[in-house]
Amino acid sequence: MDGHDLEDLLRPPGNSHEHWMRYALREAEAALEAGDVPVGAVIVKDGRIIGRGHNQRELLKDPTAHAEMIAITQAAAELENWRLSGATLYVTLEPCPMCAGALVNARLKRLVYGAGDPRAGACGSVMNVAQDEHLNHHVEIVLGVLAEESSAMLADFFRRRRGR
């Protein structure tokens, strides 16, 4: 058993990765209801949500309005600090290169994501910006948490979009 397994055993049930990922899934549902790609994110520090977001690219007409970016901005405002040291980002889809770079720049401790992204994933699938040896900060990655639920929501969205 490595340190991560022990950490998960010691974590109370209401503070599990699955618990927090369910909040990210709720954010993804908000994006879906608004007609955007259903990706949701929450940032947790010291057992509480300090930032949340869902994709708002269509609503804001902004290519940077990804769930992670919105959650990071909100968390930084909450802490009144751009350094999100000790915080964990929960997101339903593996971050893209832009978002992975923001995770590194924000000094997040950990990333927990649901569905991998074999086309644009920058946290292990296509590339790994979050742990690139050339960068001055590395983000711990936990992948596949509630991946089926995350993947199903995305697949249903794109199936409906193609059906139009």
Residues belonging to the active site: 68
**Any residues with CB less than 8 A from the CB of 145 and at least 6 apart, and which?**
17, 18, 21, 90, 112, 113, 114
Whether the Cβ atoms of residue 57 and residue 35 lie closer than 8 Å to each other: no
Name the token pair of 8: 């998960």
Report the chain's terminal Cα–Cα distance, integer Å.
Answer: 49
Residue 128 is classified by DSSP as B
